[in-house]
Amino acid sequence: MPNADNRVMHPDRRIAVRAGERQYHIELGPGELAEYILLPGDPDRTSRIASRFESIELERRHREFASVTGIYRGQRVSVVSTGIGTDNVEIVMAEILAITEQPTIIRVGSSGALQPEMRLGDLAISTGAVRLEATTSFFVHDGYPAVAHYEAVAALVEAAERLGHRYHMGITATAPGFFGAQGRPIPQLPIRYPDLAEDMARQRVMNFEMEASALLVLATLARCRAGVVCAVYANRTTGEFISGEAQDAAEAACVNTGLESLLIMAEMDRQKREAGTDRWRPSLWRHSV
């Protein structure tokens, strides 16, 4: 046929993440992750979270990426650790998105408080994040905001209230490092912004951490929900740092709040389906979880 189109469509060889295939870093394939996911940083935290599950269908660990999928209070959920930093979050998010439909993702982590009223062990629920890191600049304009999904924020607030945890809401600063990148002095090294913590605090930034902005930007681009809750492990205005049983309790409060928020968002989804809408609003809420 002389007019036939004989062109062959070749896949873009630059693409490293193939949708629907087992992923290179997290070593998970389609169907192995739930659509409701917790992202801790510390891979060892994954097993501690999974100890709350009623049953476990999958456990896997590759490098710093530890994953568990199971049932929590009747809901299928997953946990995937990211390790430290926004570069790791980019890897995990890209691979999660390749093997899920439209995931709901909550980061559960630790942070340093920047406001004096915040106590060790409190929870910090992020409404958005200052992008001090560079990872997200490879995806969006430098003025692009890192914003938590409103349903995730509402669910985290409801979860913290139900569980009786003291919490704060506000803007997080996501730093690309722990020491100089957060204005901490290093005796052996000069740092460029020694007053960074004070500068962020003056702008009413709530806390420092190292992953939130990447999660929030990438989730927004992928049109899925994401939120962040962190336990306060340090207070930068007082110099205090948590340890021992108090640290264990703070981690538990953060994790339990994250898990509860996933259940709440699953209920939001059921109520949206019943109402025939894709946007949750307070008038739909019926407290049943």
- Condensed to tens digits (0 to 9), the pLDDT of residues 96-136 reads 999 999 999 999 999 999 999 999 999 999 999 999 999 99
**pLDDT tens string 236-261:** 888 899 999 999 999 999 999 999 99
pTM of the model: 0.91
- Confidence check: pLDDT of 5 > 50: no
C-alpha dihedral over 145, 102, 255, 196, to 10 degrees? -20
What is the percent of the chain with per-residue pLDDT over 70, rounded to a whole number?
A: 92
Identify the helix (H) or strand (E) that includes residue 125.
Answer: strand 123-131
Residue 113's SS3 state is strand
Which residue, 247, 221, 213, is CA-closest to 107? 213
- Structure token digits, residue 93: 């998010």
Which residue, 128, 121, 120, is CA-closest to 160? 121
- Structure token digits, residue 132: 């001090």
- Structure token digits, residue 112: 């340093």
> CA 100, 257, 148, 80 torsion: positive or negative?
negative
> CA 168, 172, 175, 179 torsion: positive or negative?
negative
